[in-house]
């Protein structure tokens, strides 16, 4: 029977996805496991594989469309099969598009008869929601994204204008002009634009607070040196400080599940798995790869997964599973000789750990000055999920593990 191709859910709290491109054309043969399309989420542009062998047919979405998760956008047919024409299915798809706020049911129906809708406003889902919350008329905005798409930053810029963007038509014509933002030059890449939009929304909507700890990393260094010696000249991935920190954070989260949680909008959701997101720099931004069930992995396995994620991120070959379901994120800038910094939370996660370089400092040891390698860490927390005492307890556990990582 025909197999539907739907907009996949690639991360927590995802309502929609943006179709970037089709790798296969209508009527072209596809093989299970090969790349079928590219989808843009809040974190990255992800390649989506075909779920079966067959012929791609009945494509109902074009590049640039923002589509609700679960909506059918094409079919994979076996020999002799035809695209389903169930009218109830069409009506369901139309109502789903209406819910997303992208186009009306009438436009969705006309889409099946015409190449494309021509009278819609291009706006990201988060920007649309923010505009509705702030009472801003999106018809008066000019987007700075690709092809004029309205982003969260455009909505915030309109809100900060002297006069609201949705002022009555009888007022001065300068009102509408003040709410418009000229397209950015040069145009940002998808990854850079997503990072800008995501961090802006997080900083504006999430009540951040920060907890800082400086920890003696002597034993952390010692354990890493022993592990590297045990690896010898093997082809195993060399274990890094980041790998040891992933393990330490995962073990700390086992003892403090309050930080392995998410704000859902009304309640707190505690996660059964501990999946550590690793912020990784790519050519035009930052993406977050996910080491799953990190609390159950040995150092060598963490290193292998982290290395493979970094390779796929740099080559633009991230898979949906590579970026989905992170429950806590680590951002390590130690390799850039940064002493310390604060990081912006990745919603809907409750916290992110910013890690600086391990540097020798003069500290008091048993009342006398001594030189020790010190690592500085800053924990950013969502105050809706975590309070200061719980954050401090987590950092104490983490510091204890770093002082005795083995």
CA gap 274, 325 in Å, rounded: 9
Phi, psi for 335 (deg, rounded to 5): -65, -15
Give the torsion sign (CA, 69, 71, 75, 76).
positive
CA gap 320, 340 in Å, rounded: 31
Strands 72-77 and 261-263: unpaired
Contact status, residue 50 vs residue 73, Cβ threshold 8 Å: no
Burial class (CB in 10 A: 0-12, 13-18, 19+), 269: middle
383 catalytic, yes or no? Answer: yes
Phi, psi for 250 (deg, rounded to 5): -60, -40
Other Cβ atoms within 10 Å of 137 Cβ, number: 14
Could you tell me which of 189, 205, 191 has the C-alpha nearest to residue 152? 205
Q: What is the CA radius of gyration of the chain?
A: 24
3-state helix, strand, coil in the chain (%, to 5): 35, 25, 40
Contact status, residue 59 vs residue 112, Cβ threshold 8 Å: no
**Helical spans, DSSP H, in 273-387:** 299-314, 320-323
328 forms beta bridges with 276
Indicate which residue of 208, 256, 337, 383 is catalytic.
383
Contact status, residue 276 vs residue 349, Cβ threshold 8 Å: no
CA gap 361, 29 in Å, rounded: 62
Could you tell me which of 250, 245, 241 has the C-alpha nearest to residue 221? 241
SS (H, E, C) 249-295: HHHHHHHCHHHCEEECCCCEEECCCCCEEEEEEECCEEEEEEECCHH
CA gap 300, 285 in Å, rounded: 27
Contact status, residue 297 vs residue 333, Cβ threshold 8 Å: no
Q: Just list the catalytic residues.
A: 383
């Amino acid at each position: 029977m025909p197999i539907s191709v739907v907009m996949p859910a690639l991360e927590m709290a995802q309502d929609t996805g943006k179709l970037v491109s089709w790798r296969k054309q209508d009527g072209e043969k596809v093989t299970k496991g090969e790349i079928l399309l590219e989808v843009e989420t809040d974190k990255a542009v992800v390649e989506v594989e075909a779920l079966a062998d067959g012929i791609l047919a009945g494509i109902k979405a074009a590049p640039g469309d923002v589509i609700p998760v679960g909506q059918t956008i094409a079919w994979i047919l076996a020999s002799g099969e035809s695209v389903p024409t169930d009218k109830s299915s069409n009506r369901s798809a139309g109502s789903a598009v209406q819910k997303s706020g992208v186009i009306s049911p009438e436009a969705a129906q006309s889409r099946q008869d015409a190449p494309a809708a021509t009278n819609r406003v291009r706006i990201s889902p988060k920007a649309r929601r923010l505009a509705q919350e702030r009472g801003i008329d999106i018809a008066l905005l000019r987007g700075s994204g690709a092809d004029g798409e309205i982003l969260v930053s455009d909505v915030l810029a309109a809100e900060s204008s002297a006069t609201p963007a949705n002022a009555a038509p009888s007022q001065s014509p300068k009102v509408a002009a003040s709410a418009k933002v000229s397209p950015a030059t040069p145009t940002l890449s998808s990854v850079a634009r997503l990072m800008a939009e995501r961090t802006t929304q997080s900083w504006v909507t999430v009540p951040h607070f920060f907890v800082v700890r400086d920890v003696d990393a002597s034993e952390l260094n010692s354990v890493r040196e022993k592990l590297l010696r045990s690896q010898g000249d093997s082809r195993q991935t060399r274990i890094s400080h980041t790998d040891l920190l992933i393990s330490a954070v995962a073990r700390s989260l086992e003892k403090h599940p309050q930080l392995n949680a998410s704000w859902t909008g009304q309640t707190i959701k505690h996660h059964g798995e501990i999946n550590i997101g690793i912020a990784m720099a790519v050519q035009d931004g930052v993406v977050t790869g996910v080491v799953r069930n990190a609390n159950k992995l040995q150092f060598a396995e963490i290193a292998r997964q982290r290395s493979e994620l970094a390779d796929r991120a740099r080559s633009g070959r991230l898979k949906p599973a590579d970026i989905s379901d992170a429950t806590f994120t680590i951002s390590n800038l130690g390799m850039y000789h940064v002493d310390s910094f604060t990081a912006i939370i990745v919603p809907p996660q409750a916290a992110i750990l910013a890690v600086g370089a391990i540097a020798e400092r003069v500290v008091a040891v048993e009342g006398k000055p001594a030189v020790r390698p010190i690592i500085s860490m800053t924990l950013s927390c969502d105050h809706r999920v975590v309070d200061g005492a719980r954050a401090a307890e987590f950092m104490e556990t983490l510091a204890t593990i770093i002082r005795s990582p083995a």
